[in-house]
Structure formats: C-alpha cells, structure tokens
Structure 1
Amino acid sequence: MKKHRKLMLVTLTACLSASSLVACSSGGASSGSSSSPAASTAASAAPAAAGPKPELKSLQIWQKDDYNTYPVAKFLEQATGYKVQYDMLPQDKPQDKLNILIASGEPYDAITTVGSTDFKAVYSDYAKKGALVDLGPLIDKFGPNIKASVDPEALEAAKVDGKLYGIPTKSLNAVSTSLFIRQDWLDKVGLKMPTTLDELVAVLKAFKEKDPGGNGDKNIGLTMSGEASFISNIVGAFGMPNYWNDVNGKLIPRVMDPAFKDYTAFVADLFKQGLIDKEFAANKDATAKEKFTSGKAGIIMLNWSDVPVIMDALVKNVPTAKAGFLSALQGKDGKAALSAARGFDRITFIPKASKHPEDAIKWMNAKLEKETFKKMAIGEENKHYTFKDGTYTPIQPIFTEERNQANNFLMGTDDKNYPTYWQARVRKDMRLFDGWNLMNGLAPASTKVVDQLGYAPYMAVFSKNFLQLNTMSSDYTTKLIFGAEPMSGIDAFITKFKASGGDASFTEVNDWYATVKK
C-alpha cells in the first residue's frame, strides 16, 4: 500500500450546507428498511432482472495512468458485466474539487478517496449533511460478498451515527517508515548498525568527524523533511511512535506525553552538536532525498516503498554505495517502537446524486467474488505471478505493467486473503521486499505499535481539532529543536495546547477508548 498521505483539511464552503447538499441530490437509494435475513439471502441469490446493465460513473483518487485504459478496468468489465467511466480527483488539493462535485450534484455512482483522518472527517460530514446514500439496506440486499469479505470491525468503524455510508479498504497493519542508513559509511568509520539511541549518537558523531562521504565539513549526519519534527524510530525509542499513544491506559497526544520533554531535549542536543541537518525545517521531501542520493547525508527518514528510486539515484552518484534500514532503536528505558498503520487506506461511498446506487453496490459486490478479487489484485497465476510454498511472486515485467495500479481499483478487500496476495506487490523488487521484511516480517511484534485511533468512530471534537493540534505541536517541536523556543516554556505551551482543543479532544477520545481497550 501507499505510504501515509498528509492532506490539509479545507473548511467546507457555504455550498456544502445541509440544505444545498440535499437540494442537489437528484438520485438515491430506494426508501424502505432492510429486508429480513432470509429475504436478503433469497434476494442476493436470485438472478438479476433482465436487461442491459447501466454504465456506471466512478470518481477515483489520482494516479499516473488513465483508469479507463488500464488493464484492470477491462478485466473488471468482463468479470462484472459493468462498463464504468472512471474520472480522477486532481493530485493537488483533491478535497477542494471533491467539495465542488458533491455540492453540484455530479451523478457519480461511486467515489473513492484516501482514508486518512482528514478525509474520514469530510466523509462523515457529508453523511451528516445528507449527501450520501445509506448503504446498509443496499448491502443487506445486494452485497453478500461485501458482508463476507470486509472485516466487520472496519465496517463498524466506517459508520456515522450508526449507519454505514462507506465501504472501507483497510490499511495493512504494517510499519512503513524508519531510518535508512549508508552501510558503506558505517564500514568506513568502523561501526556496526546502531541498535540503541546511544549507538546512534556515536554513529552520527563519527559521520561528522571522520568524513566517510568525502564532503569535508559538509557531511550531514541525519536529514529529513521539514514535516518530520517527530523523527520515526527515534520518537519510538521514547514510547511515542504514533500521534496518540497509550500511557497507563489512556490515549495521550505526544505533546501531553510525559516523554515529550525528554524527546525534544534529545533531538535539540543532536541539532546543537551539528549531528542532524541544520536546514531540515526548510527541507521539502524532495530536498531531503536529494541530499541523501547526492552522497551528502548518511541517514534519512524513509518509507520502504521509496527504496528502489532512492537507491538507483544514490548508486548513480556513488556507485559503491550500500544502504539499509535500522531496526527499532532502544531508548534508555528499553523502549523500542515503530508506528504501524491501522485504519482505512481508502473509503468508497455513493453520493445521493447517483443514478444507479443499487447497481453500484452490485458492481462492488461482484468485484469481491473470490476469484475476481484475486485476479483484480494480482492477476493470473503463471501469467502475472507464481505461487510456491505459500508465497506469491510476481512475473516481471507484466505484473508491473498490468497490476501495478490494481490497488487503486479496490473498494473493500478480501481481508482474510489480501495480506498474503499483497506480498506479490512488495516482491516486484527485492529491495522493496528487504525493506518491508526488516520492519515487518523479521521485526519483533512488540516493536510494531498500531495506531489505536485507526478504527475509532467519527468523533466531532477530535476531527475538528486534529489537524490544527498536529500542526501546532509539530511547529512548536521544530522551534524547540532549533532553539527558537526555550525548553522552560514547554509547560506553558501544553496549557495553550489543552485550551486550544487538546483537553476536549482528550476527553472525547478516552471516553471512546475506555469502551474498547482490552
């Protein structure tokens, strides 16, 4: 799956008032309650009414290839009998465009967005304003595969005020990001892969003092983008791998965590010693990657999915370069943790303006027939992949040519089998697999800490404050690291943070968490 996306939440415009959303809704599901279980079974087993199937209209997230000409689209048309016109949201500011399309009543039969917290909040807002079709009755009648395939916990988490308005595509509970280090630099300074924070500091000092990159005093120990005030792996060694973490049975945002002061003091000291990129706050993601691939930096915070591109660029500049991921580093109290995704990778919903909501559900249901789903996701055995000893291995180049973008066609997954099928995707390049496997397959389960808020229901206060509080805490943490704010002011900042929605969010989150924690 793709790495986590950070999209800014845009306030819904006046055209998204409850009245305008309902007024622009020209279609919708038939009224009436869900049928009985027996009736539902009979209905789902009965043959479809005679007559041609309507052409459906689906709005998808951005991808580099045209959905309509991509091989998966043709396969799905043959397998499901539905011809679909696919449109894409723009790559930049997709939410702005989505707001306009929903408000104007554009008759899409299915809309798929990313499942990040900000988009989940927007989806919930659409549902509350009456802009989406209640899928419960339709799935009861036309969606037996949806009910059988999609994790019930995920379906429950997608409900808004007790009703299901979207079909979630789950994130795999996998670690995606850690610190990626130049192994050849380690060899030159005579050190092994660091396993603790103390060993990391020793490595960074050696990178600065012994010039393994041949850059003189321009060597950079650790670089990252300006959004990375909380550095993956390092922050986990302080017990704070996720935005909110369990501390003595309560979920606590990082700046309210007792470990926050220790973390900021540690990273600020690295900065003061010149061991991390002095320009990191101004770095864009591409800037940090350029510093690493040009041979200037010894360590970068990286997602495993970026490894092939990064290594190709690095080796082009430094032919002898070797690099790999660090395992979870241990802090002074033995803590070691990496953030593992949990929640929604995508979510698919049907706007009230849809002209064919029943057929949209029938189409999504047909995509979840066991063999149809498998062929959609990874293709045909001995054509797109081989299967041996429980392992799916892609056949190249046809797998990449015809299934590389298959994940963008998912609308719910066969959640029992997809995690196994999916591994064919990570074996497209063994450098991908090696990175993923180090963080997930080989790593102790205790170091993979899932986001406890991944399956949280819509929470109005938390959703309203989430991005504002994250931005507030990230900006302040960066200033602490740079020395632009004194460490003595942390308590005053926490008071401000609480007053700005932190306390209200904490109460709402933990009222829910008390009902689900084990």
Structure 2
Amino acid sequence: MKRAKKATWLTLIAAMALMTACNSNQATNNTNAAGANNANASTEQTDSAETYEIVFGFPVLGNVPADLAAVEAEISKITKEKINATVKFAAIPIGQWAQQSNLMLTGGEKLDIMLTDFSAYSGMVARKQLLALDDLIEQQGQGIKTALGDKLEAARIDGKIYATPVNQLPLGGSAIYMRKDILDQSGIDASTIKTTDDLDNLFKTVHEKNPDLAVIAPTPTGTMPMTSLVQGLANIDTLTDSLGVLDLSTDSTKVVNLYETQAYVDALKKLRTWYEAGYVPKDAVNTKVNNTDLMKSGKAFSLYDSDGPNKEKTSSASVGMEMVRVSMQQPLVRTQDVLGLDWAIPANNSDNPEKAMEFLNLTYTDADIVNLINFGIEGKHYTKKSDNVIARVANSGYELHQSFMFGDVALTYLEEGQDESTRDAAAFEAISVDSPALGFTANLDAVKTELAAVKNVTAQYVAALETGSVDPDKILPQFNEKLKAAGIDKIIAEKQKQLDAWLAANKK
C-alpha cells in the first residue's frame, strides 16, 4: 500500500467539503418525495430473493482505472456468495465529485453507499440526506462494531449514528521530515531539536548553505497548514472546523475564537519571521504543488506532515531519499481525527439499506474485498511478494492509490518498501491525548447563514496568514473584524450551547 500522506488526505477532505455548500435547499426540498419512493422500493427489495446490485460511490484522486469493471466482477463473485449481492462502483474524479454526488443525492439516483467526511457530515445529517444506521449496524454490521470499538461513538449526532468512520492507521500530531544528507551537512543533531524555536538555527544554517533550496516545502491551500509546525497550537481542538475552538492548555471548556488566541497570534508571528528570512517560498500562498512532489524534485529541505510510529520510513519511500523525523505537536485525538473519512447510506437513494450495510460490513472484515478495491486483481494488477506484501504491476490498468479510504485500513497489504512498524497503534496511543470533546459534533444548521459568511472571510485571509505571506500585526486585526461582522460570535455561542449539553449528557 502506498500510504497517502495526511496532506493528501486533507486535500480530499477540502474538495469534498464543497458538497456542504451545493444545493442544500434543493436537497431538503427533494427529501420527502424521494424518501417515499425509495421506502417502497426498499421493502420490495428486502423481501426479494433476487440478487441485489449495490452502488458504491467514492471520489478518485487520479484517473478512473480502466479495469474498474474487471475488479467489480471479482468483488461481485465474493459478495454474490456471501450476501447475494453484486457491486458496481460509482467512481467519480475528485474534481467532479462534489457536483456529481450532490446531483445523485438530490435527484434520487440510486446510490447505496457513499463516502463523506467530518466537514460535510453534520450538514448532511441536518439536511436529512443520511440514513440513521443504529439498527442496521446491530443487525448487519457487527464487524464494523468490532473493528471500530469506541470510535464509532464519535459519529453519533443527537443520539444516532449516520456514518461509520474509516478505521485509519495511527496518525496524529505533527512532525517535520528533513533530508538526512542536508541535515548532516548542517552539522546539527536532530536529537537537539525539541521545540519550534529550535528550528530557527537549523533553518538559518540550511538556508545559508543552500540558498536556492526551499527550507520548508509548503502544501496547497486547504490541506495541512504550516501552523502544524508550531507547538503552541498543539492544545487546540478545532471542533472540526476551527470556527469556535477549545484551548486545552487550560481546564476550561469555553469555546473561543481561534484567531483571537495568543497561541494563534504567536504562531503567525513565527511563520512571518520564517517567510521574511527566505525559508518559505514566496509563492507559498498560491502553490498547487504537493510538498512531497517538491521534495522529490530536490527543491526542498523539509516538509511537515502528520506524525506516526516510524513514519520517517514511509516518508523516505515516498520522496525517494532518506528522511529524518522530529515530532513537533503531540497527538491530540479529536472528533475530526476519528471521523476523518466516513461511509454513509443515503436516506433517499438506496433501494435496500440492509444489503448496503452487509457490504459495508465486509469492507471492515474481509481482507480479500478490501484489497481488491485497493489493488485490483492478483497476477494482473499486482504480484504477491509474501503473505502481506505486494508489488504493483506498472501500467496495469488499475492504479488506485487511496487505500486510506476503505473500511478497515489495517486489512490492506503492505507495498514493497513499507514497514510493518508504521502500523504500531500501541506506540501511537501511548503518546496521544484524548480531547474532552472527543465524540462531539455540532449541528450548525441554526447558524448556516453566518457559517457561509464566515467561511467566505476565512477563504480570503487564512492561507496568506498561515504561510507568513502577510504581516499578522496588520492583517490579523482586519481578519477578526470581518469575522465578527460575518457572525462568528453567533457560531461560537451555538457551539457552546451544544457542547455544554453534550458534556452534561456524557458526564464529562
């Protein structure tokens, strides 16, 4: 498995988040009519002994594989025997996913299972686009319960579960990954780097010796921010969207404006010093190039990414050179870290939710199905090197590099060059901390007008501020003034009300 970096994962989420803004009124208006039609169809299909075709929808990061139908056929051989169903992929290029999936939902087109994410989840529940899964999980999804354990509770909104999180491999916190050859050239021992401030001297030395090299490789807007390198922000639970956060450096559960916290101010000032010193590329705010690609081209010294057990080995394999990892932010497990990517059954688009759940359950329990989805057909699209290690066949017709997306990721094969130790969940859990709001998801439908206005403001300011491209002393006050005018205080008050109720109900 060629594990996607968290930056890639967040790129996917940023693109998928567009769904929450698309035709929400149309979605609501179509709910009742489509629901009535599909309710009758569901009863008919449930009572029928005929083989049911499951439509399984998800975005594709690259080109839709040419051999998709052949893989569907192989999966269907298994599902026909196990659950009397066949499987058809609704695999849609990521650039078209938001529009096409929304058209399927609002138009009542058949769609039995679909991918969503933490940023879209609560909005889709508020618009009644997703089916409550509690009874289905109890009856057809016991394997999901076993795989996810307590993580499943993070998907609960107003007492019900509407999606099942992908069971991700251990990821969290943040780290800086540096080219070992250039680090050795600097003469600085990585073990001496303990804080964000310790990076200053390292960056200065590297820049002086390699003036044409980007000291820090940025990521495209909407992905993992450069503020991930700043330890002062490690105690912030963004409550899924950063529009009203918890500062866990105190014992308070007061929801505050992230952009007014001292930790955020200090982080921006640090990034600004790096930008002015030439460590950050001048076009960082507009970059479309992933940081791993910049590293591969030999044009950067370091990149930032999620932390994880022995993850420098994954990073080294990804960029094609030896990398050294230094942890920066301690892993804080928040609702969005558990939810991340999720699988749901549309409320008005599945003719047989029971069959849909049976197949979804298989993606958390059946390694053959998971690996067919991820890698295709053995002998045609990949070859086995050992029981759990494979090598892809070049230009095979099935190049789907998104095994972070499906069911229980622990069931996926390793690819050549990957290390089993990167899956050591125990090592990760030993250093991670749970947020007191883990499992809380706000329903912001009551402030949807303010939410849209505030998101327009953040789109104008955040990228420039969080790459150091503008002076925070001048721009941050303007940003906060516009946020208040757009209604961020009303969003924060709504979050606070719901969080207080959730904490009381959960006795936290």
TM-score (norm 2): 0.73
Q: Would you say the 8 A contact 1:221–1:299 is kept in 2?
A: yes
- The answer as to 2:3 corresponding to 1:6 is no
* Structure 2 residue identity aligned to 1:269: T
Q: Which residue of 2 aligns with 1:490?
A: 476
- The answer as to 2:507 corresponding to 1:513 is no
Q: Give the Cα–Cα distance (whole angstroms) in 1 for the partners of residues 453 and 224 of structure 2.
A: 16
Deviations 1:146-197 (A, max 9, x none): 6853657655554555555444445556227532211110111211112222
Identity of aligned residues (%): 16
Alignment CA distance shift 1:181-1:132 (3 Å): closer
Q: Give the Cα–Cα distance (whole angstroms) in 2 for the partners of residues 181 and 80 of structure 1.
A: 48
Count the aligned residue pairs: 455
Q: Which residue of 1 aligns with 2:37?
A: 27
Structure 1 residue 507: deviation in Å?
A: 1.9
Determine which of 51, 54, 61 is the counterpart of 2:52: 54
Q: Which residue of 2 aligns with 1:120?
A: 121
* Structure 1 residue identity aligned to 2:117: G
Q: Which residue of 2 aligns with 1:202?
A: 201
* Structure 1 residue identity aligned to 2:118: S
Q: Give the Cα–Cα distance (whole angstroms) in 1 for the partners of residues 404 and 469 of structure 2.
A: 43
- The answer as to 2:279 corresponding to 1:275 is yes
* Structure 1 residue identity aligned to 2:55: K
Deviations 1:315-352 (A, max 9, x none): 4xxxxx521322226xxxxxx55777222422221342
Q: What stretches of structure 2 of length at least 5 have no aligned partner? A: 239-244, 379-385
* Structure 2 residue identity aligned to 1:373: D
Q: Which residue of 2 aligns with 1:324?
A: 324
* 3-state SS of 1:207 partner: helix
Q: Would you say the 8 A contact 2:215–2:279 is kept in 1?
A: yes
Alignment CA distance shift 1:344-1:277 (3 Å): closer
Q: What stretches of structure 1 of length at least 5 have no aligned partner? A: 32-47, 212-216, 316-320, 330-335, 385-391, 411-417
Larger CA Rg, structure 1 vs 2: 1
Q: Would you say the 8 A contact 1:59–1:111 is kept in 2?
A: yes
* 3-state SS of 2:226 partner: coil
* Structure 2 residue identity aligned to 1:6: A
Determine which of 224, 230, 235 is the counterpart of 2:230: 235
Alignment CA distance shift 1:162-1:452 (3 Å): closer
Alignment CA distance shift 1:407-1:373 (3 Å): farther
Alignment CA distance shift 1:463-1:180 (3 Å): farther
When structure 1 is superposed on structure 2, of 393-402 and 96-105 the one drifting more is: 393-402
Structure 1 residue 205: deviation in Å?
A: 0.5
Deviations 1:19-56 (A, max 9, x none): 3332244633469xxxxxxxxxxxxxxxx978333333
Taking the TM superposition and a 5 Å limit, the aligned residue runs for 1:331-480 are 341-364=337-360, 367=362, 373-377=366-370, 394-397=388-391, 410=407, 418=408, 421-422=410-411, 425=413, 427-431=414-418, 442=427, 445-446=430-431, 452=437, 455-461=440-446, 469=454, 472-473=457-458, 475-480=460-465
Deviations 1:464-504 (A, max 9, x none): 66676466447535444656445055345334323423222
Aligned-pair RMSD on alpha carbons? 4.3
Q: Which residue of 2 aligns with 1:189?
A: 186
* 3-state SS of 1:89 partner: strand
Deviations 1:389-419 (A, max 9, x none): xxx9723238999997666553xxxxxxx57
Taking the TM superposition and a 5 Å limit, the aligned residue runs for 1:132-143 are 132-136=130-134, 138=136, 142-143=139-140
* Structure 2 residue identity aligned to 1:61: P
* Structure 1 residue identity aligned to 2:208: E
When structure 1 is superposed on structure 2, of 495-504 and 183-192 the one drifting more is: 495-504
Q: Give the Cα–Cα distance (whole angstroms) in 1 for the partners of residues 447 and 230 of structure 2.
A: 23
* 3-state SS of 2:93 partner: coil
Q: Which residue of 1 aligns with 2:261?
A: 257
* 3-state SS of 2:366 partner: helix
Taking the TM superposition and a 5 Å limit, the aligned residue runs for 1:206-217 are 206-211=205-210, 217=211
Q: Give the Cα–Cα distance (whole angstroms) in 2 for the partners of residues 310 and 144 of structure 1.
A: 35
Q: Give the Cα–Cα distance (whole angstroms) in 1 for the partners of residues 469 and 401 of structure 2.
A: 45
TM-score (norm 1): 0.72
Q: Give the Cα–Cα distance (whole angstroms) in 2 for the partners of residues 89 and 237 of structure 1.
A: 39
* Structure 2 residue identity aligned to 1:78: E
